[in-house]
Amino acid sequence: MAGQDFEEKRNYFRMRVNGPVQIKRPDSTESFQAEGIDLSASGLSLIADEMLSEGEILDISIKSHNPELADFVAQAEVVRVEPSEEQAERFNISLKFTTIY
């Protein structure tokens, strides 16, 4: 399995995302923001104040700053949640895209 993780990291280019990510649980009308860290073809990592659970499905949106490009909108599964070592009471979250719209 570790070899597969290594291969996946080599197969996808990661792009830094230093900006807000809008997050909503599909069964809720309320949303919250997190801070994007990086984005790849398969997922997104971010820092959030809100505790999320592994396996949870989320609707996410990243606003485009270019009027010619649409916002990035996807549904994703939480695959890892760890307390942030650098920012107390925040969490490092890793998401895997299940659907990109």
This prediction's pTM: 0.82
Residue 14 has a pLDDT of 66
Which residues fall within 8 angstroms of residue 26, CB to CB, at 6 or more apart? Answer: 57, 58, 59, 75
Which residues fall within 8 angstroms of residue 48, CB to CB, at 6 or more apart? Answer: 23, 32, 34, 35, 90, 91, 93
Residue 32 domain boundaries: 13-100
> Helix (H, G, I), strand (E, B), or coil: what is residue 57?
strand
Quote the number of domains for the chain: 1
Q: What is the pLDDT of residues 5-29, one digit of tens each?
A: 444 555 656 677 788 999 999 999 9
Residue 4 has a pLDDT of 46
Q: What is the pLDDT of residues 26-79, one digit of tens each?
A: 999 999 999 999 999 899 999 999 999 999 999 999 998 889 999 999 999 999
- C-alpha distances out from residue 16 to 38, 57, 89, Å: 4, 23, 23
- Residue 52 included in any domain: yes
Residue 12 has a pLDDT of 57
- Residue 1 included in any domain: no
**Which CATH number covers residue 81?**
2.40.10.220
